[in-house]
Amino acid sequence: MKNIDEHTITQAVLQRLQHTPDARLKEVLSALVTHLHDFVREVKLTEAEWKAGIDFLTETGHLCSGTRQEFILLSDTLGVSMLTVALNQKKPPGATEATVFGPFHTEDAPKADLGADIARGAPGVPLFVEARVHDLAGRPVPRAEIDVWQADDDGLYDLQRRELGDERRARAVLQADAQGRFRFRSIVPTPYPIPTDGPVGRMLVATGRHPWRPGHVHFMIRAPGHQTLVTHIFKDPDPYLDSDVVFGVRSSLLGRFVEHPAGDTAPDGTRMAVPFATLDQTFVLATAP
């Protein structure tokens, strides 16, 4: 019988993986085992700490549901999500940069006509967005599909408001016109804290970190022949641009949200009785490989 100790166990596990049929799975699991074992040895992990880690991951899984993804939140706050994006979503010069997907996207966003008010009653300062989708040569990308979502003025996504049930606010799916243009009305994004009532929140407290994200609007843009773009447009200025809890800010993604006083006319011709803002934005898609 072979005696396995703290020095030989890693090689023993790697040998058991040698006959994994899928080469990529073998590569990933082997690297995971190697680094995980090295981590345990480096910090001299105690059995109590091992148990605490198992409990932490178990609770993280229990909090996941159709409207909440605590594991994505954990990945985001540890920088793993943005690292994965950076490795896999390298864009050619001139293309709009990608950033984290986030845990609040949903597949049942309502379709909306161009110019529609997608806020649908969500609280916030009115925002009018005029945007366009181009390719790297500056040509319009016709009929691109735009999936947009954001938090409201209270820092909450519709999925976090139990009183709304299945009602969707501040999100929609639109289609650009033949010139790649699209427009909609929503609300000005504001900073908000990520959910802190679970294990990820406790981790932030334990490490002395704040839970805040700078104000932003999410966009996912798809078009045949082009790479799908998942990105944000961040409001500038914002107090958390340099300390985003999920490390998602890119200087190229700072948007110019222009403030207008009450009484001014909005881009859709409405004379506004309240202050509002406008955003003019161009998204540039890279060609699909």
Q: Are residues 96 and 203 in the same domain?
A: yes
Examine the domain organization and report whether 86 and 217 are in the same domain.
yes
Number of domains present in the structure of the chain: 2
| Same domain? 23 vs 136 | no
Sheet holding 145-149, edge to edge: 171-175, 145-149, 216-222, 229-235, 254-255
Do 181 and 138 lie in a common domain? yes
Q: Which of 257, 248, 259 is closest to 281 using CA atoms? A: 257
Q: For the residues 77-89, what does the mean pLDDT come to?
A: 97
pTM (predicted TM-score)? 0.92
Strand partners, 277: 127, 259
Are residues 155 and 230 both part of a single domain? Answer: yes
- Across the chain, the runs of DSSP E, i.e. the strands, are 126-135, 145-149, 171-175, 181-187, 192-193, 212-213, 216-222, 229-235, 254-255, 257-260, 276-285
Identify whether 132 is part of a domain: yes
Domain identity same for 136 and 254: yes
What does the pLDDT read at residue 30? 98
Contact 100, 234 (CB under 8 A): no
Q: Residue 213 forms beta bridges with which residues?
A: 192
In this structure, the answer to whether residues 151 and 31 fall within a common structural domain is: no
| Residue 2: per-residue pLDDT | 72
Give the pLDDT confidence score for residue 181 in this predicted structure. 98
Token code pair at residue 209: 């970190």
Interval 19-43 mean pLDDT: 98
Share of the chain above pLDDT 70, in %: 100
With beta carbons less than 8 A apart as the criterion, state whether 210 and 239 touch.
Answer: no
Which residues form the domain of 162?
74-285
Residue 266 pLDDT > 90, yes or no? yes
Please check whether residue 55 lies inside any domain of the structure.
no
Say if residue 20 is in the same domain as residue 113.
no
CATH number for the domain spanning 106: value is: 2.60.130.10
- Residue 289 has a pLDDT of 85
Judge if 79 and 39 occupy the same domain. Answer: no
Residue 145 has pLDDT above 80, yes or no: yes
CB contact at 8 A, 229 and 262: no
In this prediction, residues 193-207 reach a mean pLDDT of 97
Residue 58 lies in a domain: no
Question: What one-letter code names the amino acid at 269?
Answer: G
pLDDT at residue 67, as a whole number = 79
